[in-house]
Amino acid sequence: MTESAAAPKMSARDVKVFYGDKQAIKGVSIDIDMDNVVAFIGPSGCGKSTFLRTLNRMNDTIPSARVEGDITLDGEDIYSSKMDVVQLRARVGMVFQKPNPFPKSIYDNVAYGPRIHGLAPNKAELDQIVENSLVRAGLWNEVKDRLSESGTALSGGQQQRLCIARAIAVDPEVILMDEPCSALDPIATAKIEELIHELRGRYAIVIVTHNMQQAARVSQKTAFFHLGTMVEYGDTSDIFTNPREERTRDYITGRYG
């Protein structure tokens, strides 16, 4: 059986999200695998971020939000009462629009998660995790001589790579990125995009982006959202050159959004 190799990392089935009485997501089903970076695109307010946040139960932090439907990680129901949400958010890490390092040293930003989760039995191993995570996030060479300086003193692009290192440090399986470049200049953006290429395959990656060129550059699969539904999901090259749905075509040709 080749089933396990082909099994999706995450699956969502008929997911609906409500904020109070208002329905923001109207029955979305999608599979996310390890091999492809997935981009969520669509006009403002269509529900991309809301849906992204269901994948690691970030919606739990919004009192009015309610999620229906099924979402699994390696076949396990992430909304089950047995699911440890702190553990889940380590397995499904998140990087936000605005870089949000803790007001701590660069070292402590990265060491924070491994310490909480007890991943390093001693200082030498913690040092190694911090170094590996910073290397993988493409930041090590820039910060290796100033690990005790504050993370908030770095440039915006460096801060975002620090946040990626922080997510990587707890050895996640999935990384969710919610418009990770929208606060960055073009050079810092290019570095993050390069990094996404390098991280592909090691982690399942889902990125919400307003920028269609970015979706085309970094992803192999694209999901187009509109008014709380997922209109179309397929190979990025098809979505951008030969979409099946008229609404997708209208959006990518700039007719609305």
x/- map, 190-229, ligand ATP, by CB under 6 A: --------------------x-------------------
Whether 231 contacts 224, CB under 8 Å:
yes
Q: Of 28, 46, 111, 174, which one interacts with ligand ATP (CB under 6 A)?
A: 46
Beta carbons within 10 angstroms of residue 231's beta carbon: 19
d(CA 58, CA 63): 11
CB 74 within 8 A of CB 27: no
Q: How far is the CB of 208 from ligand ATP (least distance, A)?
A: 6
| SS3 of 207-229 | EECCCHHHHHHHCCEEEEEECCE
Q: Which is nearer to ligand ATP, 50 or 248 (CB)?
A: 50
Angle at 12 (CA atoms; ends 11, 18), nearest 5 degrees: 160
Q: Which stretch binds ligand ATP (CB under 6 A): 38-46, 112-120, 190-198, 231-239?
A: 38-46
# of chain residues touching ligand ATP (CB under 6 A)? 13
Contact 223, 39 (CB under 8 A): yes
Segment lying near ligand ATP (by CB under 6 A), choices 31-39, 42-50, 66-74, 199-207: 42-50
Strands 37-41 and 221-226: parallel
Residue number, 132 or 211, with CB nearest to ligand ATP? 211
Neighbours of 160 (CB within 10 A): 30
Q: Please state the closest distance from residue 244 (CB atom) to ligand ATP, in A.
A: 21
C-alpha to C-alpha distance for 51 and 46, rounded to whole angstroms: 10
Tokens at 209, concatenated: 């982006």
Q: Are strands 229-235 and 221-226 parallel, antiparallel or unpaired?
A: antiparallel
Nearer to ligand ATP, 19 or 112 (CB): 19
C-beta closer to ligand ATP: residue 62 or 153: 62
Give the residue, chosen from 12, 41, 48, 161, that forms a contact with ligand ATP under the rule CB under 6 A: 48
User: What is the C-alpha to C-alpha distance for residues 168 and 86, in angstroms, rounded to an integer?
Assistant: 15
Report the nearest approach of ligand ATP to the CB of residue 45 (Å). Answer: 4
Which residue in the set 15, 30, 41, 47 belongs to the binding site for ligand ATP (CB under 6 A)?
Answer: 47
Among 13, 35, 62, 153, the residue binding ligand ATP under the rule CB under 6 A is 62
Q: Is 24 in the site for ligand ATP (CB under 6 A)?
A: yes
45 makes contact with ligand ATP (CB under 6 A): yes
- Per CB under 6 A, residues contacting ligand ATP are 19, 24, 42, 44-50, 62, 64, 210
